[in-house]
Amino acid sequence: MLPGLAVLVFSLVVPLGFSVYYSLTDWDGLGAYQHVGLDNYRAILTDDPVFWRSLRNVLLLLAATVFLQNPIAFALAALLSRLSARASRLLRTVYFVPAVLSLVIVAKLWVDVFNPTFGILNKLLRAVGLDALAVSWLSNPHTSLAAVIWIILWQGFGWALLFYYAALMTVPRDLEEAARIDGAGRLATYRHVIIPYLAPMIATVIVIDVISSMKQMELIYLTTQGGPGQLTQFLGVYLYQKAFVTSEYGYGNALSVLFVVVSAGLTLLVHRGMRVISR
Amino acid sequence: MKITAFLVLALALLPTVRASAQTKVTIKMGDNLPDRNNTWGAIVEQINGEFKAAHPGTEIVTESYPDQPYQQKIKIYATAKQLPDLFKFWSVVSLLKPMIDGGFVAPLDRAEFESLGYLPGALDTNTYNGKLYGIPVSMDFWVIYYNKKLFKDAGIDHVPATLDELYAVIPKFKAKGIIPMTTDGKDAWPLSITFDQLVWRIAGEKGLPRQALDRKIKFTDQVFVQAARALQQLVKSGLFQEDLMVSDYDAARNLFGQGKAAMFLMGSWELGLGTDKSFSDEFRANVDAFKFPVVKDGKGTVDDLMAWYGGNYVVSASSKNIALDKQYLVFYAKRFPELAWEKQAALPAQAVKARPSDTPVARSILRIIAESKATSGTPALDLSTPRFKDDNENAIRELCSELITPEVFVKKLDAAAEKAAKK
């Protein structure tokens, strides 16, 4: 109990305490600083459109993960669970490849695919006569957010599939058989038997999605760095930039404290929601 | 028995261990030159090698990252009190001042560097409160590099002298599938320097951005609106690579070096393109540079040059071997100009002599600086607070992504300057 508590205190409470302390200062990370009370928080909440945009982008990414990536991953996992063992294993490996690639490689890969002049995507579009669609995906204000969200979903897809596949493997055969005997069709079996059975697992995946959406940082940093303008800005990148690019260390710490608050709030909400649904 | 033997052995070994610990000194260095086999980085490696040979027992460990990540890394190291002993940084007015104020940088002895051929004012840019804190490395100014062969292939026989002529070459390159010009749009500072250059070309008066930062004039004045319009027009015209706003320094440089782009908008520190072995012989033989064009009806001339002293080397105040670090800097200051010019890798902040063997691009660089009538000093984005720099870059990004109009852009710039002036 005590060692566990000590780890928790030193790895979580103490750093968070420092963050809270610095968030109340105007420290630039180097020299002397002054205490400014809640000024940083006030500025973030009332006078910082970039903060709200990056929060909105996090929620958009979360929505895309939960409502696009997860259902597709679930459907595919369900299909895979019906295939022969060999075919299923091969396909699972293929789908999981993006998840084991280094983030830097994934980012460079997609930056190249999306390259407006030499990228394969625009070459394909032009080849089939869709020249009008061949835009500069990552720097066009209309497509940049969708493009980075796509890359994140693409990379995370393997994990979602793996979780759901593993979960589906735990569904007892007799449960499905009982449903079939009772006259339930395949879809009805999924809807009324399998999905409710897997609800705790689905909740876990969604909590993981919340966490990974919140802390999304590296991929944005490696592709758009929040641009063009601040259209693809995410909280993780924004607080890093504030602390270490513009040397507003105090402000960056205030952002990170809010970050923790929002993450904790979202996680609680998901838990509460799932409890209501599974009831 | 065994224990006694072990103790004897240990005691016998002790002096040697102590001796080697005494003579072995490691200098930790940091810089923004990740390529250690070509041009600038290779020269630093050579200087390091020579210094180690002259100081037996000295080891030099270097950490290198590309420019912007490097700047951030140094700030993180400073915050965590883990700065390298010796590191490359930027001039006092921009990034170095807070480091000096915070007591992170050790003062140097100016007398040791006075006689080493520094260009007029070069050491002054690194002097603060009467003390020298860093030694400047390069003389930087804004030019356009171009590929003579691609110009010839597109049927263009002279370099654009005006913006209109620049616009006129765009379709000629595009017809050949060549990108007319590249630059680093992701990091935005090259576009910000270009904006300053345009302001000067239009107004014919130097230092207007500085006056606006000092709040003597406003960024919302007409000349800034005109310059913003001109900059946005350059991007809109299709002059640059399509993904300008997300392509970084290396991406832009590689497009040019690999012959996919005809021009590269960048500083004189890229004169090493003429000797960079990572590109083809054909490219190296054809790369040259010309002056940033003039603006129609503008009052500025082609010889009003955006020019300043670039990075510098500083010594960390927490280094354990400050004396040795300083010896290294003197050694570096003596060797760098000679080697940099011999290898045609950079234009040092110290005087160099033209030689018959100079590459064409190096000759052009020397000619451009020799012909300049006035120089700007540090670009505006580095003249104020880090926050202003970031605001400036973000506003430039929005302007060049066509998210805001030139009128909104200058308002944002003015608000950022106002905020910085209050600090």
ipTM: 0.76
A131 lies in a domain? yes
Answer yes or no: do B397 and A227 touch at CB < 8 A.
yes
* Same-fold call for B25-138+310-352 versus B140-307+366-422: yes
Best CA proximity match to B22, nearest among B60, B61, B58: B58
Q: Write the burial class of residue A128 (CB in 10 Å: 0-12 exposed, 13-18 middle, 19+ buried).
A: exposed
Give the lowest-confidence range in A30-39, A78-87, A255-264, B20-29: B20-29
Q: Token pair for residue B159? A: 């370099």
Contact A149, B276 (CB under 8 A): no
- Residue B134 is predicted with a pLDDT of 93
Question: Is residue B389 within 8 angstroms of chain A, CB to CB?
Answer: yes
What is the pLDDT confidence band of residue A65, given thresholds at 50, 70 and 90? very high
- Residue B93 is predicted with a pLDDT of 72
A13 lies in a domain? no
Is the per-residue pLDDT at B22 higher than 80?
no
Q: To the nearest 10°, the Cα dihedral for B258, B261, B266, B269?
A: 20
- A256 vs B contacts (CB less than 8 Å): none
Answer yes or no: do B401 and A139 touch at CB < 8 A.
yes
Q: Token pair for residue A26? A: 């105007």
SS3 B330: helix
Question: Is residue B66 within 8 angstroms of chain A, CB to CB?
Answer: no
What is the pLDDT confidence band of residue B385, given thresholds at 50, 70 and 90? confident
Q: How far apart are CA B212 and CA B410, in angstroms?
A: 11
From the list A114, A136, A248, the residue facing B387 with the nearest CB is A248
Count how many residues are written for chain B.
Answer: 423
- Residue A128 is predicted with a pLDDT of 92
B245: nearest CA partner in chain A? A139
> What is the tens place of the pLDDT at every residue in B291-333?
999 999 999 999 999 999 888 999 999 999 999 999 999 999 9
Count interface pairs A-B at CB distance under 8 A: 85
A6 lies in a domain? no
B242: distance to nearest CA of chain A, Å? 6
What is the pLDDT confidence band of residue B346, given thresholds at 50, 70 and 90? confident
How far out from the chain centre does Cα A243 lie? 22
The residue with tokens 């616009």 is B167
User: What DSSP assignment string belongs to B400-412?
Assistant: HTTSS-HHHHHHH
A48: distance to nearest CA of chain B, Å? 13
Q: How far apart are CA A111 and CA A224, in angstroms?
A: 9
Q: How far apart are CA B268 and CA B349, in angstroms?
A: 12
B20: distance to nearest CA of chain A, Å? 36
Question: Is residue B101 within 8 angstroms of chain A, CB to CB?
Answer: yes
- Residue A193 is predicted with a pLDDT of 85
Q: How far apart are CA A254 and CA A239, in angstroms?
A: 9
CA distances from A113 to A98, A118, A154, A224, B256 (A): 15, 8, 13, 14, 20
- Residue B198 is predicted with a pLDDT of 97
Q: How far apart are CA B313 and CA B269, in angstroms?
A: 16
From the list B245, B394, B402, the residue facing A230 with the nearest CB is B394
What is the pLDDT confidence band of residue A186, given thresholds at 50, 70 and 90? confident
From the list A29, A139, A224, the residue facing B79 with the nearest CB is A29
Q: Output the average pLDDT for chain B.
A: 90
A12 lies in a domain? no
Across the range A206-215, mean pLDDT stands at 89
Q: Token pair for residue A275? A: 């409890």
Question: Is residue B316 within 8 angstroms of chain A, CB to CB?
Answer: no
Is the per-residue pLDDT at B24 higher than 60?
yes
A141: distance to nearest CA of chain B, Å? 7
What is the pLDDT confidence band of residue A279, given thresholds at 50, 70 and 90? low
From the list B75, B241, B397, the residue facing A244 with the nearest CB is B75
B21/B331: higher pLDDT? B331
Is the per-residue pLDDT at B289 higher than 60?
yes
Instruction: Give the phi and the psi of residue B344 in degrees, each rounded to 5.
Output: 55, 50
Question: Is residue B72 within 8 angstroms of chain A, CB to CB?
Answer: yes
- Residue B121 is predicted with a pLDDT of 86
From the list B75, B186, B404, the residue facing A247 with the nearest CB is B75
Question: Is residue A230 within 8 angstroms of chain B, CB to CB?
Answer: yes
- Residue A27 is predicted with a pLDDT of 87
User: What DSSP assignment string belongs to B356-415?
Assistant: TT--HHHHHHHHHHHH-SEE--S-GGGSS-HHHHHHHHHHHHHHHTTSS-HHHHHHHHHH
Is the per-residue pLDDT at B20 higher than 50?
no
Task: Write the CATH number for A101.
Answer: 1.10.3720.10
For residue B297, give every residue at least 6 positions away whose Cβ sits within 8 Å of its Cβ, in sequence order, or none: none
Best CA proximity match to A145, nearest among A221, A226, A52: A226
Answer yes or no: do A115 and B243 touch at CB < 8 A.
yes
> What is the tens place of the pLDDT at every residue in A136-170?
899 888 999 999 999 999 999 999 999 999 999 88
- Residue B4 is predicted with a pLDDT of 53
What is the pLDDT confidence band of residue B18, given thresholds at 50, 70 and 90? very low
Contact B252, B140 (CB under 8 A): no
Across the range A34-39, mean pLDDT stands at 91
Across the range B2-20, mean pLDDT stands at 49
Strands B58-64 and B25-31, by their bridges, are: parallel
Facing residues of A35 across strands?
A25
Angle, CA B195 vertex, CA A241 and CA A242 arms, to 5°: 10
> What is the tens place of the pLDDT at every residue in B157-215?
999 999 999 999 999 999 999 999 999 998 899 999 999 999 999 999 999 999 999 99
B104: distance to nearest CA of chain A, Å? 8
A98 lies in a domain? yes
Q: How far apart are CA B33 and CA A26, in angstroms?
A: 32
For residue A114, the 8-state DSSP code is: T
User: What DSSP assignment string belongs to B41-62?
Assistant: HHHHHHHHHHHHHHSTTEEEEE
Q: Domain B140-307+366-422 is classified in which CATH homologous superfamily?
A: Periplasmic binding protein-like II (3.40.190.10)
Across the range A222-231, mean pLDDT stands at 86
- Residue A67 is predicted with a pLDDT of 94
Q: Output the average pLDDT for chain A.
A: 89
Q: How far apart are CA B44 and CA B64, in angstroms?
A: 11
> What is the tens place of the pLDDT at every residue in B210-229?
999 999 999 999 999 999 99
Question: Is residue B386 within 8 angstroms of chain A, CB to CB?
Answer: yes
What is the pLDDT confidence band of residue A130, given thresholds at 50, 70 and 90? confident
Question: Is residue B52 within 8 angstroms of chain A, CB to CB?
Answer: no
CA distances from A219 to A86, A151, A212, B338 (A): 33, 8, 12, 42
- A136 vs B contacts (CB less than 8 Å): 242-243, 246
Percent of chain A with pLDDT over 90: 45
Answer yes or no: do B101 and A31 touch at CB < 8 A.
yes
A90 lies in a domain? yes
- B189 vs A contacts (CB less than 8 Å): none
Percent of chain B with pLDDT over 70: 94
Q: How far apart are CA B351 and CA B338, in angstroms?
A: 9
Q: How far apart are CA B268 and CA B322, in angstroms?
A: 32
- A28 vs B contacts (CB less than 8 Å): 98, 386
Structural domain range at position A104: 39-278
Q: How far apart are CA B312 and CA B32, in angstroms?
A: 11
What is the pLDDT confidence band of residue B15, given thresholds at 50, 70 and 90? very low
Question: Is residue A115 within 8 angstroms of chain B, CB to CB?
Answer: yes
Angle, CA A246 vertex, CA A241 and CA A247 arms, to 5°: 105
Q: Where are the alpha helices (DSSP H) in chain A?
A: 2-8, 14-23, 39-47, 49-64, 70-80, 85-100, 103-113, 120-127, 144-169, 173-181, 186-189, 195-214, 218-223, 235-240, 249-278
A28 lies in a domain? no
User: What does the domain layout of chain B look like in residue ranges?
Assistant: 25-138+310-352, 140-307+366-422
With residue B422 as reference, give the H or E element that holds it.
Answer: helix B406-422
B105: nearest CA partner in chain A? A30
- Residue B19 is predicted with a pLDDT of 44
What total of structural domains would you count in chain A? 1
Q: How far apart are CA B5 and CA A172, in angstroms?
A: 68
Tell me the range of A219-233, B90-104, B292-306 where mean pLDDT is highest. Answer: B292-306
Count how many residues are written for chain A.
Answer: 279
- B75 vs A contacts (CB less than 8 Å): 29-30, 244, 247
Question: Is residue A229 within 8 angstroms of chain B, CB to CB?
Answer: yes
Q: Token pair for residue A42? A: 């006030």
> What is the tens place of the pLDDT at every residue in B40-86?
899 999 999 999 999 999 999 999 998 888 988 998 898 888 999 99
Q: How far apart are CA B134 and CA B87, in angstroms?
A: 10
- Residue A81 is predicted with a pLDDT of 87
Q: How far apart are CA B270 and CA B264, in angstroms?
A: 10
Answer yes or no: do B242 and A117 touch at CB < 8 A.
yes
> What is the tens place of the pLDDT at every residue in B115-153?
998 988 889 889 999 999 999 999 999 999 999 999 999
Answer yes or no: do B401 and A249 touch at CB < 8 A.
no
From the list B98, B104, B246, the residue facing A227 with the nearest CB is B246
Answer yes or no: do A30 and B102 touch at CB < 8 A.
yes
Q: Domain B25-138+310-352 is classified in which CATH homologous superfamily?
A: Periplasmic binding protein-like II (3.40.190.10)
Contact B186, A227 (CB under 8 A): yes
